[in-house]
Structure 1
Amino acid sequence: MDLYNRLDKNNAAVLMVDHQTGLISGFVRDFGVDEYQQNVEAMVDIANYFKLPTVLSTSMESGPNGPLMSYISENLPNAPKIERPGEINAWDNPDFVKAVEDTQKKQLIISGVVTDVCVAFVALSAINAGYEVFVVAGASGSYEDKIARDALNRMTSAGVQVMSWFSVASELHRDWRNDVEGFGQLVQSHFPAYKNVVTSFNAKN
């Protein structure tokens, strides 16, 4: 059995679960607002850059949980969005499961709010359903650092691979030479420190 199962851009789909403005405002405490938003936006741009099929879901969107982050809605306009009327675990919603199945991908890259509920429940359910699951910790938020760590440990114990958006992008891309400028722009857009490095390098040449 291989211990290193790499993400494959030809076999991966992105699931973004409950990145809703009300939930983010009320529950995301393990990241600063700007950092968290940057991480989520990076996942949106990764989905577009690699042309990954993406499934969105919201929970009781008309209530205090609120709508999806505008960046998601504006930049993934064609992604199916499953508006759950009440199911806490999105995997309990048949329309959500069908949308995932319709991607015909076996690797699922998941992020959401909150880490210990919306993300963990979907990730564990997908593992049970036979998928390879990769959770993006930085684009998933919770109300307490320890709660988030415990949830990530729970998922890891079940076979989920926990990654950052940068490791997801790098593993999908494999080789800078595949598109130096495009991949470089993707990284720069969400890594201000790297943008500074590139600016400094360009100034010398």
Structure 2
Amino acid sequence: MSFKYNRLDKDKAAVLFVDHQSGLLSLVRDYSPDEFKNNLLALADIAKYFKLPVILTTSFEQGPNGPMVPELKNMFPDAPYFARPGQINAWDNEDFVKAVKATGRKQLIIAGIVTDVCVAFPTLSALEEGFEVFVVTDCSGTFNAAVRDAAWLRMQNAGAQLVNWFAAGSELQRDWRNDVEGFGKILGDHLPIYANLIQSHSSVKPQK
């Protein structure tokens, strides 16, 4: 069986942030709160940096799920935003799906809470309709590692690619020479260990 490496392309990808809500954050136990928030904002920075279409959605905001994480909503004030009245699977909301299709992008970068429901359900639905789906593992959270791993397996077996935010950003960047400073700043801002590399590079690069 031959393998085809379908890599992320900044001209073909859109980002879907699904149910990153204040109430649902309390369910994320496979990452620490600080780590998870940092990962999420790193993906948001990547989406802005590459000027990717972004779509935001929440589920049952008036109930215990709560509103969307304010930092995320504030970063994309002009992005399509869908407060679903009750559909658990975002793909069951016609307006959300229309907005996804209106981007004209066939690669969907998806992250959300919880991994096994709010991420898995729209991922499987989008795959069924012929989209390429890239699930950002460290920007999606759930109750524990066992639940997470089962969800990953389910999505992967259906054809989804599993990536973390660092891998997604690097694949979109393709070549350091495209912009060392811009892409490097995102890495340094969200990965303290990478900030050391950026500082080292800045200290030795030739001055103009």
User: Counterpart in 2 of 1:71?
Assistant: 71
Per-residue Cα deviation, 1:114-142 (whole angstroms, up to 9, x for no partner): 00000000100000010000000000000
How far apart, CA to CA, are the structure 2 residues paired with 1:177 and 1:204?
17
Per-residue Cα deviation, 1:30-84 (whole angstroms, up to 9, x for no partner): 0000000011001111110000001110001122111111111111111111110
User: Counterpart in 2 of 1:102?
Assistant: 102
How far apart, CA to CA, are the structure 2 residues paired with 1:168 and 1:69?
22
User: Counterpart in 1 of 2:179?
Assistant: 179
Per-residue Cα deviation, 1:137-177 (whole angstroms, up to 9, x for no partner): 00000011110011001100000000000000000010000
RMSD: 1.2
How far apart, CA to CA, are the structure 2 residues paired with 1:203 and 1:16?
37
How far apart, CA to CA, are the structure 2 residues paired with 1:109 and 1:185?
21
Which structure 1 segments of 5+ residues have no match? none
User: Counterpart in 2 of 1:141?
Assistant: 141
What secondary structure sits across from 2:23 in the alignment?
helix
How far apart, CA to CA, are the structure 1 residues paired with 2:197 and 2:50?
24
Residue 124 of structure 2 is aligned to residue 89 of structure 1? no
How far apart, CA to CA, are the structure 2 residues paired with 1:169 and 1:147?
26
Identity across the alignment (%): 55
Structure 2 contact 185–198 (Cα < 8 Å) conserved: no
Residues 1-205 of structure 1: pairs in structure 2 closer than 5 A: 2-25=3-26, 27-202=27-202
In the alignment of these two chains, the number of paired residues is: 204
What secondary structure sits across from 1:21 in the alignment?
coil
Q: CA deviation at 1:2?
A: 4.6
Structure 2 contact 17–111 (Cα < 8 Å) conserved: yes
What secondary structure sits across from 1:67 in the alignment?
coil
